[in-house]
Amino acid sequence: MLRLLFWRKTRTLLNTLSHLTAYERVRNAAFALAGLALLAGLYLLFYKMLAYLAKVELIGQLLLWKLTAIVMLTTFMMVAISSLLTSLTTFYYSFDLKFLMNAPVRVRDIFLDKAAESLFFCSWMIALVQFPYILALVRVNHYGPDVFVAFLALMAPFLALAAAAGMAFTLALLYLFPSSRTRDVVWVLSSLSLTVVYGLVRFAQPERLIRPDALEVVADYLSYLQAPTAPYAPSWWLTAGIQAAAAGHYAVLARQAALLYGVTAAVYAGLVALAGKVYFTGYSGAQEGRLRRTPVAVEPFPEARLGLRGELAALFWKERRTFFRDVKHWSQILLVMGLVFVYLFSIQRLPLDNADLKSLVSFLNVGAAGFVIAALGLRFTYPAISLEGRAWWVLRSSPVTTGAIMRQKLLFSVIPMTGIALVLGLATNHLLGADRFSAWLSALSLLLITWAVAAMGIGFGALFPMFNVENIHQIESSLGGFVYMASSLGYIAATIMILAWPMQMHFQERFGRAHAWRWEIVASCAVFFVVLNAAAFVVPWTLGKRTLERYEQ
């Protein structure tokens, strides 16, 4: 029966591929090319970094393998946390579970089918990033193809063990607390765990690998490099196996492979036995609805305190209530707060001793912070229209205009994004101690970028609406999401290029050049800046509004 379940997935994939339209094939090819370009860029980045470390006298190889162990340990933790989220959805909330649970199929077979699905979705993207790293490592050290083959052979049980941690926790949690409310707790805990892992990796200051002077004595530094990194974790078993293949010690490689495969088999045998006893109980409890113990009271719109009236106040109230009812948004807010904190910590740790260099970094921070804002827009702003889902017809049949709906979506999104932009801009300028001109230019331009990116998010979201999707990730990874992200990054790059001219003249003046400011260039930059922002605000918004007005479900 398990073979039949796997054949069902294979047939589904083949049918999907065979029925793709020409437009969908072109779209998927564009995504594939973009993904390959990203992997190629990562490969070049890893190669440059590893080549630099390999040239360090005496300890170059120690540095490479220490970094490899840290990378594998981080990968293990990321896959385990991703598995926690993915297995919760696949084991208990997949659309086909109602059919499978009523079919003549053993619960253990359903669990194994969903475990394979969860393993794939929680690990494929994270694992894919490891390929350019290993290829760069092989090229830098001139290893043979056997090292890469060993990596592929050991990666499968390594990822399976990482995913098993999330699966086991989910099975136990839903069995002990069989309620839909448990799902909300898992969302919050998983996002908080991801924030903690990212923070710990950053606070560990991996830059110490190339700064032995940061440790007290050379002997301590050598001991740090030679010591195993989490020797009882599967990440070290994988690293030791790859290192043994590189050194030609195939007996050690065989022992590490036997350890990984043996532990994986034992762990999944235990998971299958556990699932046979607790899986159906947890599934039954997860289908229960949530009880509301507090009475529902109709409150006057507090949005009036923001100066909103009429239809805009009602729409804003509706958006606010639905947003905070979805606990996934709470967990993502925690994640955003953690990432902002780590971003500022990284800025503070930059080794900058020159005042002019600090001002230059303050200006370049516009691009880095703008990328963060664009990524937040892809997650929160761009899907705002599509998240109305099948209830879109309720809004369209209400006495509100399409423009009012879009303005409300923009207002609800732009307020928190403006707060994040102010934190990233003002706090960075304060930490760097940038001069007044650079600080004001970077802060004001970052604010304008935030508003433009938010307006583009609503405009492109209306231009490419997707009301019939199961989750938000399908919206983000769609063609419209790609177009929005590419347009946002292009807009940010064009803004940096325009503002680079005033910054260049500012630095020339600081370096003592007479008549550094050329006002005809300043006027031209102002015109280009106005035209660029007008296009960013108006074009996607107008096209999206027309599309929504003509949309028929």
In our burial notation (b when 16+ CB lie closer than 10 A, e otherwise), range 341-351 reads ebbbeebeeee
pLDDT of residue 289: 54
Tokens for 80?
A: 């385990």
> What is the average pLDDT score of the chain?
78
Distance separating alpha carbons of residues 449 and 510, to the nearest angstrom: 27
Distance separating alpha carbons of residues 133 and 155, to the nearest angstrom: 13
In our burial notation (b when 16+ CB lie closer than 10 A, e otherwise), range 114-125 reads bbbbbbebbbee
Distance separating alpha carbons of residues 553 and 548, to the nearest angstrom: 11
Angle between helices 402-432 and 519-550 (to 10 degrees): 140
Distance separating alpha carbons of residues 46 and 168, to the nearest angstrom: 34
Closest CA to 123 of 78, 57, 166, 168: 78
Decide if 382 contacts 472 (C-beta within 8 A).
no
Neighbours of 445 (CB within 10 A): 20
Closest CA to 499 of 466, 479, 524: 524
Closest CA to 348 of 358, 339, 338, 356: 358
Distance separating alpha carbons of residues 161 and 233, to the nearest angstrom: 10
pLDDT of residue 257: 92
Residue 239 main-chain phi, psi, to 5 deg: -65, -45
Indicate the residue type of 332. Answer: Q
Distance separating alpha carbons of residues 408 and 182, to the nearest angstrom: 32
Indicate the residue type of 335. Answer: L
Closest CA to 239 of 250, 228, 223, 225: 228
Closest CA to 421 of 379, 380, 370, 345: 370
pLDDT tens-digit readout, 333-386: 666 676 677 667 667 766 666 777 778 788 888 888 888 888 888 878 888 888
Q: What is the DSSP string of 381-407?
A: IGGGTGGGGGGHHHHHHSS--HHHHHH
Indicate the residue type of 282. Answer: G
Burial of 47 (0-12, 13-18, 19+ CB in 10 A): middle
Residues 6+ apart with CB under 8 A from 54: 60, 61, 63, 64, 140, 141
Q: What residue has token string 């998010």?
A: 457
Residues 6+ apart with CB under 8 A from 518: 505
pLDDT tens-digit readout, 70-124: 788 878 877 887 787 778 778 877 777 888 888 888 888 888 888 888 888 888 8
Closest CA to 120 of 176, 163, 72, 78: 163
pLDDT of residue 219: 46
Closest CA to 364 of 377, 378, 350, 353: 350
Neighbours of 493 (CB within 10 A): 13
Distance separating alpha carbons of residues 393 and 552, to the nearest angstrom: 9
Q: What is the DSSP string of 173-211?
A: HHHHS-SHHHHHHHHHHHHHHHHHHHHHHHHT-GGGGG-
Decide if 412 contacts 319 (C-beta within 8 A).
yes
pLDDT tens-digit readout, 203-213: 445 555 545 44
Q: Residue 218: CA atoms inside 13 Å, Cβ hemisphere, count?
A: 2
Low-confidence stretches of the chain (pLDDT beneath 70): 1-2, 27, 31, 57-58, 177-230, 286-312, 324-336, 338-339, 342-343, 345-346, 349-353, 469-474, 477, 552-553
Q: What separation in angstroms does the CA of 445 have from each of 97, 437, 442, 490? A: 50, 12, 5, 15
Distance separating alpha carbons of residues 54 and 330, to the nearest angstrom: 43
Distance separating alpha carbons of residues 341 and 479, to the nearest angstrom: 31
